[in-house]
Amino acid sequence: MANVTKKDLIEIISNATGLTQVDTRIVLESFLEAISKTLREGKNIEIRGFGRFKIKERKARMGRNPHTNTPVQVPAGYKPVFQASKELRNRINAGNGKNFPGPTEQQITSV
């Protein structure tokens, strides 16, 4: 199963909306920057029917350098987390088959 890149998303959205790819790129990059900025401010983002972006705090811990096997202090920090909504999980599992090929471009544009 191949990954979908930002370029692929731009093309799919552009074809579905009739916007130019340049305009679509601006919209998508603005959307992603808004998500990043909001998470940096410590706020969660909830998109009904899709999911929730939130920040989880990681505690400081002792790690190990795999090359030298020496202990290394890993500092505390934050990590972004995406939690899919029940509706999104249901849409993904609607195929209910083990060999889930993923949505086709036509299915994505018809949503």
**CA dist 23 → 12, 40, 58, 88 (Å):** 13, 26, 37, 27
Domain residues for the domain of 79 are: 44-91
Mean pLDDT of 77-86: 95
Distance CA 37, CA 25 (A): 18
Q: What is the pTM of this model?
A: 0.71
pLDDT at 73: 96
pLDDT at 79: 94
Is 13's pLDDT higher than 70? yes
Higher pLDDT, 97 or 67: 67
CATH of the domain at 48: 4.10.520.10
Closest Cα to residue 91, out of 77, 107, 75? Answer: 107
Is 102's pLDDT higher than 60? no
pLDDT at 49: 95
The H or E element that residue 79 is part of is strand 77-84
Higher pLDDT, 110 or 44: 44
Say if CB 15 and CB 24 are below 8 A apart.
no
Structural domains in the chain (count): 2
